[in-house]
Chain A
Amino acid sequence: MKTSSMSNSTPDAGNGLSTERRRFLKRSSLLLGGLAISTWLPPMTHNSFASEAISGAQLGDNSVQKGGYGAFVRVGTDGKVTLISSKIEMGQGVQTGMAMMVAEELEVPLKDVSVVEAPANAALYTDPLLQFQATGGSTSTRATWEPLRKAGATARMLLIQAAANRWNVDATLCTAKAGTISGPEGQTVNYADVVEDAIELPIPTEVTLKSPESFTLIGTPAQRLDTPAKVNGSAKFTIDLSVPNMLIASTITCPVLGGKVKQVDASKARAIKGVKDIITLHNAVAVTATNTWTCFKAIKALDIEWDLGDNASVNSEEEANAVREASRQQGAVAKTAGDIDTALKEAPHTFEASYEQPFLSHSPLEPMTCVAHVRQDSCDLWVGTQVPDFAQKAAARLTGLAPENIAVHNQLIGGAFGRRLEYDFIIQAVQIAQHVNYPIKLTWSREEDMTHDLYRPHYVDHIQAALDDNLEPTGWRQHIAGASVLASYVGSLPDSGVDGDAVEVAIDPIYALSDLEVQYNRQDAKSVNISWWRGVGPLRSTFVQESFIDELAHHANVDPLTFRYDRLKEHPRAQALLKVVEEASDWHSALPEGHGRGVAISHVFGGYVATVIELAMQGELGVKIKRIISAVDCGIVTNPTSVSAQIEGGTLFGISAAFFNEIHIENGAVQQKNYDTYRQLRITDAPSVEVHITKSAEQPGGVGEAGTSLAAPALVNALYAASGKRIRRIPLNRHGYFTV
């Protein structure tokens, strides 16, 4: 077996899944691209709907849930409302936002809505933007905004109709508020008392949603539903779970991708008190024991001889060279507008630059962990996952069980950042559980987690601009080189050879250009598996675009904020945000020598964000980040507290990577093993982030990744303003920079 990836080469599991994923790709106009905005309404079946919406059905019972809304919202006979959440909570606050949507239309207090995790069920819970059942790509609010409000409104209409029937009055004369229905003559009845009647009613053919002006909950700062349990230690993450007769398991996987176990001497490990079983998998060895420490100790006591395979001499600088070389070749054309050949040939001036971004680990604080119990006829998985349906199908393939006999109990996630869109660790847990007759909780050590991640690819962008007499860009050609996450995830790329994720933003730059060509130069990595990382394609693209436009502004000797503003006439929302950060940062005020401000702006995930970073140099390499100011226009805001928190944290998350993070591979093995060598931003490095949310009536946009994508360019632009040094290859610490 191969634990590090499901994506391309596992004979027993990966190929089948790839086929499945390829079908997703074919169905999808732009998988994960974030541009394929479509409206989705769950299918509604007459008569069957009311019972689903009101009394609810058993989770995962498709035969009675195919009507649609019953799969999302239930009102119990006690009047209690349950949101069946198709999106997992991993810190983004999404389940509270979703509960707010339901509560708003259903006219119940937010505190009366409880949340349960949706089961694995692609038929019910496929994300219309992602085209599979997943939480990711900053799609959650966008995808659920209309269906969930409709679900809440439909339930409200049915309950009101039931009350109206009882009073023998016209339903339009009745209103609902805080779970109580009022009639025209002052009658009142609680939802709980009419649920049984409402079950019998046909669903309304037309559902009217509240107008945003009449929202009383949406748009107000709401206390998150999941946070009280997270401040007193009672919240359970996967790593905290315990099921009867469970033992802990941990693994050591071959340090080199593609390697396998040759021979194991487990005698020393077996002698450790508490060790139960030692299981040799294809490329890993697992230990089960009564506690985690014993597992970790036993793992260290194993004497394993590895067959390191073909990658035993690969290093990341070789990989980088190959990507750099690819960036200078002809690639697959992703976008052509105008005539960039002629423009570059005839331009009075040209300007070019290359930008480079490293392999990155996700390193969420909760390491990969999964509780698995495999029995002859069924399997239970308790695991925090962004892809419950993929996890279920992978487990089905491994065990030979039917997917419906595999229950995925989704859990709160202790950080994901894209990592839990993969399920390599879930496969490993199932494989271990297949060898034993008890449930196991697979817990990776931090070292295992960091060295067997699926990494953000190493990218090189090369970009050449044609400039007019005033040094203003009229067009550019951009080559994007690097491994294809999309191909890795879904099995292949479309015939065009273009990775729609990698070229996002680049093919539709926010700035007006007459001539544009974008080429995609795929150069896959040998030494590591790759995957989605917070910010996905726009993260890479925004660093390049916002660094390059900054360079052009300075080259033209124009203020970088003004230079951007003047080229954004087609994006008034972007211009408005630039005005906000211009004022809030006091952009035009003079700064002391060695201080500087950098700006960046983006139109990603269906919204707009602008960020200004102010920093001060101490000596040549010391950097004190003094202020971060962000303005966001993400359309209608559900919970402003969560929007602000996502921009604050997301921006600092991006700073952490841009300043400190780079995964090195030597002799095929990842060199960074823990937070001592893969340094994270700490409170001492982190200025407070000031967020300005613009009032907007536009459709909601995603905010979980938008802040992240602006961090690196705003940082390097500020560094340039402060020091005159242009950093085109991140992270900063590879050039000797450190925080002070």
Chain B
Amino acid sequence: MKTLNINGNIVQADVADDTPLLWVLRDELGLTGTKYGCGIAQCGACTVHMDGAPVRSCSLPIGALTDQKITTIEAIGETPVGQAVQKAWLEHEVVQCGYCQSGQIMSATALLANNSTPSDSDIDMAMSGNICRCATYTRIRSAIKDVQFVDAMEGASS
């Protein structure tokens, strides 16, 4: 039995240690917002945050996890950045089929949490691991540039 910290909840999963986090989230915990696309960390559809950093959950066996905090698309809207990203995504009507967008939003949120005014090349770097077969890249770029949020760190220091 493995104990995990998912979206602030301590949960247990009774699966083999080599099971990627992706399948624990989806099949064991019912958190299906995180998607399977390739299984080899090529498409980014499975992106979640591990202690705030974007990781590909399809290639992260849960045996490798200790007490890291995992955040998924289901909870990202509870952070100011995540909420702002989701809002910008809707305002720019980024989504087409939507299947990759959980991963796109998780990558964009991780980027913006560390860099609230990313340049084009910052965006390209941070988002290049996420494939969108509908090719919504034009709007992903414009939505990221338009994300407005109050930086919690800056807010605290000022």
Contact = CB atoms under 8 A, between A and B. Distances in A.
Contact of B99 (A292, A294, A296, A415): A415
A674 B77 contact: no
A214 interface: no
Contacts of A292: 23, 26-27, 36
Max chain B C-beta neighbours (<10 A), residue from A92, A294, A446: A446
Given A239-B36, A676-B40, A688 B135 contact: no
Given A414-B35, A645-B139, A291 B28 contact: yes
A364 interface: yes
Contact of B105 (A231, A676, A680, A684): A231
Give the interface size class of chain A: 35 or more
A733 interface: no
B30 to A, nearest CB: 7
A240 interface: yes
B130 to A, nearest CB: 7
Interface residues of B, number: 58
Contacts of A681: 135, 137
Given A231-B86, A683-B127, A223 B102 contact: no
B39 interface: yes
A645 B140 CA distance: 12
Given A231-B89, A232-B77, A645-B93, A675 B131 contact: yes
Contact of B38 (A274, A293, A675): A675
Contacts of B67: none
Given A291-B19, A292-B23, A445-B39, A233 B32 contact: yes
Contacts of A223: 90, 93
Contacts of B43: 365, 675, 680
A293 B90 contact: no
B136 A227 contact: no
Contact of B136 (A221, A291, A445, A645): A645
B66 interface: no
Contacts of B123: 683
A93 B135 CA distance: 14
Interface in A195-250: 221, 223-224, 226-228, 230-237, 239-240, 242, 248
A293 B46 CA distance: 14
B72 A233 contact: yes
B59 to A, nearest CB: 12
B142 A415 contact: no
Nearest to B123: A683
A686 B38 CA distance: 21
A594 interface: no
A363 interface: yes
A533 to B, nearest CB: 13
A49 B89 CA distance: 41
Given A224-B93, A688-B141, A290 B27 contact: yes
Contact of A674 (B40, B89, B102, B128): B40
A641 B93 contact: yes
A239 B98 CA distance: 13
Contact of A686 (B42, B93, B135): B135
Nearest to B61: A293
A138 to B, nearest CB: 15
A656 interface: yes
B98 A230 contact: yes
Contacts of B73: 232-233
Contacts of A235: 98
Given A233-B33, A234-B33, A675 B42 contact: yes
A414 B131 CA distance: 13
B134 A415 contact: yes
Nearest to A289: B27
B15 interface: yes
B133 interface: yes
Contacts of A675: 37-38, 40, 42-43, 131
A292 B21 CA distance: 12
Q: Which of A235, A412, A417, A676 has the most CB of B within 10 A?
A: A235
A363 B133 contact: yes
Contacts of B32: 233, 236, 239-240
Given A234-B33, A242-B30, A652 B96 contact: no
B137 A232 contact: no
Contacts of B40: 446, 674-676
Interface in A578-606: none
A91 B96 contact: yes
Given A233-B34, A414-B35, A273 B16 contact: yes
Nearest to A441: B27
Interface in A666-709: 674-676, 680-684, 686, 688-689
B51 interface: no
Given A231-B101, A291-B19, A649 B135 contact: yes
A366 interface: yes
Most buried by B among A224, A232, A445, A686: A232
Interface in A233-269: 233-237, 239-240, 242, 248
Given A230-B101, A233-B33, A415-B99, A291 B133 contact: no
Contacts of B112: none
B113 interface: no
Interface string A22-42: 000000000000000000000
A248 B39 CA distance: 16
Contacts of A413: 97
A649 B90 contact: no
Interface in B2-24: 15-16, 18-20, 23
A367 interface: yes
Nearest to B40: A674
A104 interface: no
Interface of B: 15-16, 18-20, 23, 26-28, 30-40, 42-43, 45, 72-74, 77, 86, 89-90, 93, 95-102, 105, 123-124, 127-142
Given A230-B101, A231-B98, 8 more contacts: A226-B98, A231-B89, A248-B27, A365-B100, A365-B131, A446-B37, A446-B38, A689-B138
Q: What 3 pairs between A and B have smallest CB-CB spacing? A: A233-B33, A414-B99, A91-B97
21 contacts: A91-B97, A91-B134, A92-B96, A227-B89, A230-B95, A230-B98, A231-B105, A233-B34, A273-B16, A274-B15, A292-B26, A293-B16, A365-B45, A366-B35, A446-B37, A652-B138, A653-B135, A655-B135, A675-B43, A683-B137, A683-B141
